[in-house]
Structure 1
């Protein structure tokens, strides 16, 4: 691997022990990946130093939070003082809402571990965004910017919608990148690897958030880990639609980048998105659409809904407004959890939306979701979801039935306690 003089100096210890160990990790990582060099990044999103009760107890004898970062994050055999973050670093979602941990059924030990880990990361200069949608909480990379991000739905949004460059990184690589501002130059950092490999032609109108989620789920299934380009009967999508589309495609498949002809920045035309590739065309028609809906609702049999979960990926303010409008003056009979970021929750509170949702019996939670937090209300048997991603994961993770539908259908289920959604 070719290193610059500055990188060699960091590796040799010019920036201290922690940065030297971070460079060692990234160089080894890059060699395994076949990268010939590192690339500078000033935008990292991970979970540096975050702790569960198990990690807290395991590393407490070795030095607590510093040991978690040294031994676990950077995979070192010694514990050292960790310096301030060298570049902008955001902390993504965890498993605990600091205000709603009891509603989530979390033990106090989980809250304390999360609280102390947050304080530690904050002392290192980390932004505590605590969300899977950092682009809705102030971290919006620009076109061509090299990032080091975790979280599949955030990665696919950054790559596709914003035209930034990042692979789906892990805890170790992001914590190392936080200290030295480097990441291996491979995969989607390289322009030649960002061309489309599959072509999906959409024949049925795709307009609502619900429809964009189903299309994303279809695309993930057919593309796998390839890069798809889509054209056809697509409406002009907003942030919420693109958020749900990408999250679904990254769940049913491993899509990290997609192109929408005439919409996303690297696809002004189909030819521009494909480059020299000429793949067969995959069609999304009424038959495919119906099959996706049936797949997402395959384990729903009992129409008695006892739990409704919204906000995966974390709800945007537009979605909070929609939910508040649907709930205004009504009362839920099933448990309703809506997950969002701290930033959006504060805005919802300022607009009075939080008051409306709470008055109706709903709970607005931050920092996590049912899948990340492995949390559903006690006794949950049947859940209603407006997220294809959550419908993909939650039934298997929590052993429950799930219905997938529109936000309005989910709110209706929360109010009536019954699933009355209809097939498209």
Structure 2
């Protein structure tokens, strides 16, 4: 790789052993990707805390939290002292909600170790936002800004909706970027990698959050890790999709496939026209999405479900916006969650604080639901005891929970899910 003088100095130990290890990791990583250089980034989203019993035991045996960061974040068998981060760095989701440890099945020992780990990360200068949707709570990169982000649904949103530039990174590469402000310059950092490859013509209006989730799931299954361009989103007096719709669309596409960027003609910043999104080239393949494709996708997502009795309703994947919490609170007001069902709604801590002040948390809890933070059931592997059937308004979660926990999953609208929570049944 071609390194600048600054990068060579970091590699050679000018700034201490942790930075040198970080540069060594990035160089090896970049060479494996055939990247020609590194690119500067000042915006990193990753995971640095140690929350699992395994990491707790490792820390106790090997020398504390520096040992965990050295081994699992820098790929260094030698324990090095970890300095403060140089890049503006945000922490993504945890494996559990520390404010609801009993529901998450977390022991007091693991909880106390987590608090130590979070405090250590904060001392490093990492922002403890603890969410898969950093763009909801203040980390909103600008168009063209080079980032180093983890979390598939965050990456596709940053690239597509915001026009920022990032590949889907991992714990190791983002941690190295935090210390060096560098990441390999390849993929979606380059103009060529951002151009559309496959085209979609919409034959039906895609309007609700449920519609966008279904469309994204169909799209990701088809294009996998390539870059789709969609034409026909805004029709006549039709509305452009808002944040929740685009959030669910990208999350679904990155779950059924590996989509890291999409273009919606006339909506997303790098698609003012069909021609611009493709860079003047023709699509490799063109397909149409209509009522038949929508129905087939809905049937496919719901293929794991047969029992109508619902034990658990999970909302908030990706983490709910304040608008979605407001909607859920309206649907729950004056109602009660069924005795044989549980309702958990996940959101960032910062948004829960707003929901607390607005009275939405009180409304949800008065109905028997819980507003939770920092994690989700896929990340935590935690569901209410005895859960066999779950209802979801997230195509992403409907994709993962049956595979991870062996549950039956019903996918539908938020209204359908709230109805299931209050009646204990899916549909009529």
Contact 2:103 2:382 (C-alpha < 8 Å) held by counterparts: no
Q: Deviations over 1:235-288 (max 9, x none)?
A: 400000000000000000000000000000000000000114312311101111
Q: What does residue 264 of structure 1 align with?
A: 268
Gaps of 5+ in 1: none
Q: What does residue 195 of structure 2 align with?
A: 195
Contact 1:339 1:365 (C-alpha < 8 Å) held by counterparts: yes
2:38 corresponds to 1:34: no
Normalising by the residue count of structure 1, what TM-score does the alignment of the two structures yield?
0.98
Which is further off, 178-187 or 51-60? 51-60
Gaps of 5+ in 2: none
Which is further off, 276-285 or 362-371? 276-285
Q: Give the secondary structure class of the aligned counterpart of 1:200.
A: strand
2:325 corresponds to 1:320: yes
Q: What does residue 366 of structure 1 align with?
A: 373
CA distance in 1, matches of 2:278, 2:193: 11
Normalising by the residue count of structure 2, what TM-score does the alignment of the two structures yield?
0.97
Contact 2:233 2:240 (C-alpha < 8 Å) held by counterparts: no
CA distance in 1, matches of 2:51, 2:162: 31
Q: What does residue 378 of structure 1 align with?
A: 385
Aligned residues: 421
C-alpha displacement of 1:164: 0.2
C-alpha displacement of 1:93: 0.2
Contact 2:146 2:166 (C-alpha < 8 Å) held by counterparts: yes
Select which of 251, 256, 259 maps to 2:255.
251
1:22-61 residue pairs with structure 2 within 5 A?
22-61=22-61
2:288 corresponds to 1:283: yes
CA distance in 2, matches of 1:200, 1:320: 32
Q: What does residue 210 of structure 1 align with?
A: 210
Q: Give the secondary structure class of the aligned counterpart of 1:391.
A: helix
Q: What does residue 348 of structure 1 align with?
A: 355
CA distance in 2, matches of 1:224, 1:369: 24
Q: Give the secondary structure class of the aligned counterpart of 1:402.
A: strand
Q: What does residue 307 of structure 2 align with?
A: 302
Q: What does residue 408 of structure 1 align with?
A: 415
2:403 corresponds to 1:396: yes
CA distance in 1, matches of 2:393, 2:49: 32
CA distance in 1, matches of 2:322, 2:99: 19
Contact 1:49 1:73 (C-alpha < 8 Å) held by counterparts: no
Q: What does residue 357 of structure 1 align with?
A: 364
Contact 1:221 1:249 (C-alpha < 8 Å) held by counterparts: yes
C-alpha displacement of 1:62: 1.7
Question: Which portions of structure 1, spanning 4 or more consecutive aligned residues, are displaced by more than 6 angstroms?
Answer: none
